[in-house]
Every structure is written in structure tokens, then in C-alpha cells.
Structure 1
Amino acid sequence: MTTSADATDLTRPGEVALTTASDVGAVVALARRRYAAAVVADTTGWADGDRRRIEDLGFREGDARGAALRTLDLSVADDGTPTRVLDNPALASLNGHHARFAERRGEVARYLPDVSVWTGIPSEPTEQDWDDVRALLGPGAVFGVGASAVLPEGWTAVEGSGGVQLTGETVEGAPDPEAVELTPDDVPEILELIARTQPGPFLPRTIELGRYVGVRREGRLVAMAGERLHPPGWTEISAVCTDAGFRGQGLGRRLVLDVAYGIRQRGETPLMHAAAGNTGAIGLYQHLGFRLRDRGAPRFAQVP
């Protein structure tokens, strides 16, 4: 790997330049100058929205130009995790891998209403950002805010809705022989299982966010888990649930490990969120090797 911001150091197709340039224009110029090679931009210290400017300039994931330029935050969060994107995973997802699911106003983004309930706002919102949240979500809407965000006067925190974030740097996962891939055709049955087990919101198009797997018994879906938020280098495991009649068989544990294995096969790291009061789930995830982060725990506020 080349670690210079000078494209003249790249001599063979497929080499990677890691640049610490802080200017978006300089990063784009580097990618355009040596098109056959990839450029990975260290975005430490970039202002919120700069990563999205890369896409606005035509470097989109899934096409040739997107393959020529990647962003990577190499800064260290306060708890020692070697990335800060986990402090704001929804915005990192919507400004990257999940940009196609985003509705935007200024620097604020939310998932399409039939895809996910998550909203991403800058870590330190400005007055304009709060105005954009109000316009995008509407009065009464509940949304997640970062640990450093200070709510404006008249905006209220939602009590009792706190959560925890867990990271799986040491979780390798394992494929499960009973797990079956779930598709959009399975959504009606998935929604029935979600209604019975209440693991958290799952909407008609949530399945499009990633890979979902389940276990069937006598043709009936009785357990599932899948992928939701997708900040750079990480994938969240979500919608972990088991029908009451089939609990105690380790199905949730097995499906979490199956999903984690798929994430690892892509070279990424699994991530999880859980309600702070769900000590049973938190204990299970820690037993599997996930660790609690000191930062990134979701808290929620309501638009006045």
C-alpha cells in the first residue's frame, strides 16, 4: 500500500494510496489523476457533509468512479475504538453505503419512512441543523441524537429510551446449517414474527438494508436476524428475535453468529445496539464476544 498523497508514487494498477489531505478537492484530484488505482482518503477531522461531497462529485459506490475513491476515518474514539463513525452510525450509513435510502435536508438525513426509523444529524448540530430536523421529520417525531448534541430550548429528551452499543472486533461468527436466506417475499411472515416478539422497528423495506436469515420449523418462520446500519467498515446486526415457543434452543445466538460470519467474510466488523434495560440480550451478546462501548449509546429526543 502506498501511503503518500502524491499519485506519482503509484506505479501499478490496483495499488492503493492512503492520503491524509484535508481538502476534498485535493482528494478528488488525486483519484482522477491515477484512475486505475484506488485512493483511500483518511477523513479524520473532516467537517460533517464532506464525505457526502465526494459522492456529489460523482464518486458513487457501485460504479467505476466509486471504486477509485474510498473514505476511511482513521481517528480513535474516546473509548479507544479505532474509528469515530460509530459515534454517529446512522449519519455515517446514510452518507455512505445506504445513501440510496436517504431523504435529506441540509446536513440532516433520514431513512425513507418505509425502510428504517433512524435519522442522522451532525454530532454537534447548528441552529440550522435543528431547523432542518424539524422540517424533515415534523412535530412530535422521535429521533436519535449523539452524546455531544445539546438540545435547543423547547426540545425534550425521551426518558427511558436509552440504549447501548456493542462492537464485535473479536467475533468471527460461524455459518449455521439451519439458517435460510430471507427475501422480500418473506416480508409478510417477517412482520408477523416481529409483531409477536417485539425486537424493535422493522418496516416493509427494512430487508433491503442487508442480509437477513431465519430458521423455519415445519415451514413456519420462528427466528431471524439480519443487517441494518452500515457505517464504513462496520455492519449492525439487528432484528434478532425468536418466537416464544422456540426460545431456549439457542436460535438467536446461532443466527447472530451466522450474520456475523457473513459480515466478516466481507472484511467488515459486526456492531450491535440494544435497549439499556434489555440485560438478557446484552449479556448474550457479551457472551458471544461483543464488548460495550463507552460512547455511541443511542439517546432520543422529540421534535416540539
Structure 2
Amino acid sequence: MIDLEHQLKNPVWYSLKETHKKFVVEFNDVQFYDPEICNFAAFFDETKTAKASNDYLKISDEFFFVSENQTPIIDDNKVYLAKKTDGCQMVLNKLADVEIDENIVLLDATYIDEIYDLIWLVMPGYYKKRTFEMGKYFGIFKNGKLVSIAGQRMQTNLFIEVSAVVTHPNYTGKGLAKQLIAYNTKEILKENKTPILHTNKGNKAIPLYEKLGYQLTRNMNWWLYRKKKAE
């Protein structure tokens, strides 16, 4: 089995090799998520990414290549780089002692629409309704309304990624996200797996993650590619 350190260098790849292998779409030894689930992709050999990208864009208009330090090669006639995000990976060192006084609920499939709407309100863009199938989601309700969530995304037999940490703008500053991250982290530890997360460099939430016991470990770049429209 591939050890944790090697898995964390290419988390999308190993997620699709293990826990999420039912979601894999593979072209030319490059791995993509089913576009209805997620738009992440991973590779080891960048010389294969151009052909693979062209094939994948027959079923999806965009995707992210996620890599630590490799630069994908693309076919400029068919694909363009829409955005590159300089990100970073954080791994739990030791969870801080966090008092959890909110009622945290495991969200089932009946909440898919509410989860989707809240994430798109706060972070519009790339979350899909079927992203819910990647892992567990937990939420906090106020007056019967879902106002804060944190979920689990990429995962293998060794790690689970905390993701989709969002709070409705009317309820920020109340420590809801902090409690949800801590709760999620404890749930992951119960499975004897390592909690990780990804974020943008310079994200104002990084100090919170550090207070919770997460440490910056490596860069993780997100290359958003889109299909060129026919002229």
C-alpha cells in the first residue's frame, strides 16, 4: 500500500484509486472524476495530459488539474487556462480542545438542495449537487434553516479531506465553522484516518485552521482549464 506521505503529494490520484474509484474516468493514464461528481483531475506524467484533456472535454466543459509542483501540458487549440490558484495543503498535527455546544447534524440526502444553495451563496462556482456523494456532511441549523456546514471530500484508506466549510453571511463570527471543523476532524480520527484540508494561500481562515491543530505542509496548485469555443 502507498504510504500517507506519497498519497498526500497527489491526493486526487489516490482518492480515485481507492475510496472514490467508482467515480473515476480515465484517459491516457490520467485520472478524472466523473463530471457529475467533481471536476478534479490528477496525473503523474504531464506528457499525457494534453490528449487526456481533449478526451475529457468531450464530456465536460471544464476541470481542474491538481498538482504539487508539476505543470500540465495542454493542447492550446482546444483548451485554455482560465485560472491558476496557488493553494496549500494542511494536515492535522494535534487537534486543539474545542468546546462544541451547537447541535451538529449529520446531513442526509434530503438536504442536498440546501447544501448546494448555501455553498453557492458563499462560494459560487464549482460545487455540484452530487459532490455530496464524496463523503459525509455535517450542519448547524438556526430557526429551522441550514446556516453552516462542513463536509468531507477527497479520501483514501489513510486520509479524509475536510471541505466545503461555509457559513451563511448572517451567522458568521459566531464560531460555527470552528465547531464544525473540529467535529469533522474528530469523526475522521474515529476512522483512524488523517484529517487534511486544502485552501488558498493567504486565506484569512488559515490562522483558524492552525489554532485547531492543522499545519501547512506543502503547496497544492489548482489549474482550471476550459474548452475553447469554436470560432
- TM-score scaled by length of structure 2: 0.85
Please, which of 41, 54, 58 is the counterpart of residue 134 of structure 1?
54
Identify the match of residue 149 of structure 1 among 42, 64, 70: 70
Q: CA RMSD in A?
A: 2.4
Higher Rg: 1
Residue 181 of structure 2: SS of its match in structure 1?
A: helix
Cα 1:229–1:174 change in 2 (3 A) is: farther
Query: What does residue 133 of structure 2 align with?
Result: 208
User: 89, 92, 102: which one pairs with 1:165?
Assistant: 89
Gaps of 5+ in 1: 1-70, 74-81
State how 1:4-153 maps to structure 2 within 5 Å: 71-73=1-3, 83-122=5-44, 124-126=45-47, 128-138=48-58, 141-152=62-73
Q: Give the partner amino acid of 1:164.
A: C
Separation in structure 1 between the aligned mates of residue 99 and residue 14 of structure 2, nearest angstrom: 28
Q: Which has the higher contact order (CA 8 A, sep 6+)?
A: 2
Q: Are the structure 2 counterparts of residues 145 and 195 from structure 1 closer, same or farther at C-alpha, using a change threshold of 3 Å?
A: closer
**What's the counterpart of residue 179 of structure 1?**
104
Q: Distance in 2 between matches of 1:134 and 1:107?
A: 13
1:158: how far off? 4.9
Partner of 2:209 in structure 1? 285
* 8 Å contact from structure 2 (residues 65, 72) kept in 1: no
Secondary structure of the structure 1 residue equivalent to 2:18: coil
Contact (CA 8 Å) 1:263, 1:270: kept in 2 or not? yes
Normalising to structure 1: TM-score of the pair? 0.66
* Unaligned stretches of 5+ residues in structure 2: none
State how far apart, in whole Å, the 2-side matches of 1:152 and 1:112 are.
Answer: 21
The alpha-carbon distance between structure 1 residues 216 and 91, as it changes in their structure 2 partners (threshold 3 A), is same
Q: 1:184 to 1:90 in 2, by over 3 A?
A: same
Secondary structure at the counterpart of residue 267 of structure 1:
coil
CA distance in 1, matches of 2:129, 2:74: 35
User: What SS does the corresponding residue of 2:138 show, helix, strand or coil?
Assistant: strand
- Correspondence for 1:230: 155
Aligned residue number for residue 225 of structure 2 = 302
Q: Is the 8 A contact 2:84 2:222 kept in 1?
A: no
Change (3 A) 1:85 1:291: same
Partner deviation per Cα, 1:151-173 (whole Å, 9 max, x = no partner): 43755655552211111132277
Q: Secondary structure at the match of 1:83?
A: helix
Identical-pair percentage: 27
